[in-house]
Amino acid sequence: MGFSLSSPPLLLLLSLLVFSYPLCFGQVGNGGAKLHPKFYEHSCPRVEEIVKKGMAEAVSENPRWAASILRLHFHDCFVKGCDGSILLDSSGAFLSEKRSVPNRDSARGFEIIDKIKATVEKTCPETVSCADILTLAARDGTVLTGGPNWVVPLGRRDSRSASLSGSNNDIPAPNNTLNTIITKFKRQGLNVVDVVALSGSHTIGKSRCTSFRQRLYNQTGNGLPDDTLDQTYAAKLRTRCPISGGDQTIFSLDFISPTKFDNQYFKNIIAKKGLLSSDEALFTKSEETKKLVTKFAESNEHFFKQFAKSIVKMGNISPLTGSHGEIRKICRRVNH
């Protein structure tokens, strides 16, 4: 799932209607302790304020950062749980997840998290994990682009290692079949509703030509374009995504409102204008997912409410708590 953004003024983004939904929390981590929204109430009461300010500055500079950080959160949680492992650079002990196929040449926003972490460290040294900062930042970026608000359970600790193989194998790919994507979500304790709702994060995403080229020229190996893609839209895409070259050229996953977090993504899919195979498959390969796409396309409120529930559920995947892991001083490397 590749994300990114273009750039309307922040004031316009802030004027967008934001919904907030009370959610259940209290996921037990593998250290036995529970995540809780008030985890830092006494040890670092200003942490949410600091993260929100850092994200507001980043999104004001370039709204694309909102989607980039949301994507980092997703790619972190799908590998060993939400433990900040994606933020680690390679060391003598392990290879960074940044080098995996899903992240190489596309994962971005690490410097935004570094900057926020440095500010948090000045206020509350060795208290707040990088994993929690990333989770909060993903929420705040979503809100800043007009999306839903949600309560973030906190108390995650940081991993002391990364998993390059896990990143290569566990993160859903844009050319995966729908069944493969659903299977990868189920391994993380997420269901079909979560698949469709979280795919809606592509409403502010961008993707590279290399991620959807086969749809334009040779979808099934017969040299023909994908017949589930609107051919006028496909012809327009071909002008910037040739049969060879231009791999890194980026395209909005929602070309109608690319910088606004809304349900337009689902309307595009119904109109055969979903960019990725994995997007369009939600409408063409399963009656169950088709009904959900239709429901979310018809109601922005339904989409926002389910997205908030699903992303909290995702943020609760296998957190390190208690005495497990550590609180990294610098997000790019383990403590020494």
Annotated binding site for substrate: 172
Main-chain dihedrals φ then ψ at residue 253, nearest 5 degrees: -70, -30
Please, are residues 82 and 30 in contact by the beta-carbon 8 Å criterion?
no
Q: Tell me, what amino acid is at 251?
A: F
Please, are residues 80 and 317 in contact by the beta-carbon 8 Å criterion?
no
**Beta pairing partners, 21:** 150
Binding-site residue set: 76, 79, 81, 83, 85, 97, 172, 202-203, 254, 262
Q: Report the Cα–Cα distance between both ends of the chain, in Å, rounded.
A: 34
**Beta pairing partners, 34:** 28
Main-chain dihedrals φ then ψ at residue 28, nearest 5 degrees: -80, 125
Q: Report long-range pairs for 124-129 (Cβ below 8 Å, ≥24 apart).
A: 124/40, 124/43, 124/44, 124/46, 124/47, 125/329, 126/327, 126/329, 127/40, 127/43, 127/44, 127/327, 128/40, 128/44, 128/47, 128/327, 129/84, 129/156, 129/157, 129/158, 129/325, 129/327, 129/328
Element (H, E) at 251: strand 250-252
Please, are residues 117 and 47 in contact by the beta-carbon 8 Å criterion?
no
CA within 13 Å, CB half, 279: 31
Catalytically active residues are 75
Tell me the residue length of the chain: 336
